[in-house]
Amino acid sequence: MAAIHRDDLPAEREALVERYLPLARHLAARHTSSGEPFDDVLQVACIGLVKAVDRFDRNRGVAFSSYATPTIVGEIKRYYRDRTWVIHVPRDLLELSLRVERTADELSAERGRPATNADLAAKLQIGEDEVRRARDAVRARRTTSMEQRVGGDDDSATLGDSFGVDEPGFVAAEQRAMLDSLMRCLSARDREVVRLRFVDDLTQDEIGSRMRISQMQVSRVLRSALDRLRSVAAAAA
């Protein structure tokens, strides 16, 4: 099974959305700017969560939380983008700009790195000059100070604390790439146990049921495998 679709597994889809609603709420709280109703941003975050569930492909070996975070944040940023144009931009360029930015978020979430102009041109089947033109048009949006406080007091985070930073999904992608190279030192069984725990987010009990071993054995395998990975990583440093 590659992805979860509404018609195929409605119960599993609904359960996954419900399980990660706290993540959507947390990201909405982080990215709610002053004057913007939290409930509106939360609704957008939930839309992003549902999109992440529908697009998630388990065969890629990525934990759902790592995939969902940049997808939800991208949806929230798109919400602000669509509301903040103040300088007149031709309609065709406006629509192209939104398509380019939306595709950039999707590709970044899928690949774990920022999308290049070449990536976007290939995906949208347009020239790189058109991509650059569309991205330049983004400057026609309302500017907001990055020092603006998200909360109502002097100790609250600023917009600069939440925008323009590395998203967890990108960091996780780098960590997975490093882990893949290190995992070669483990046996096939140990690799599978590590994958189920740290990629699929399964509990030790769930792994035991899947592998038909006890939870205690799973714990021992994980401890031994992690010790082995640390040793190999230290030797390679």
Evaluate if residue 24 carries a pLDDT over 60. Answer: yes
- Number of domains forming the structure of the chain: 3
- Asked if residue 96 and residue 68 are part of one domain, the reply reads no
Residue by residue, DSSP assigns 76-135 as HHHHHHHH-B-S---HHHHHHHHHHHHHHHHHHHHHSSPPPHHHHHHHHTS-HHHHHHHH
Asked if residue 162 is part of any domain, the answer here is: no
CB 13 within 8 A of CB 37: no
pLDDT band per the 50, 70, 90 thresholds, residue 138: low
At 73, the amino acid letter reads: V
Nearest to residue 149, comparing CAs of 34, 39, 37, 25?
Answer: 34
Token digits of residue 223:
């401890």
More confident residue, 204 or 6: 204
pTM of the model: 0.38
Domain span holding position 29: 1-84
Residues 80 and 1 in one domain: yes
Residue among 13, 18, 22, 105 at smallest CA distance from 53: 13
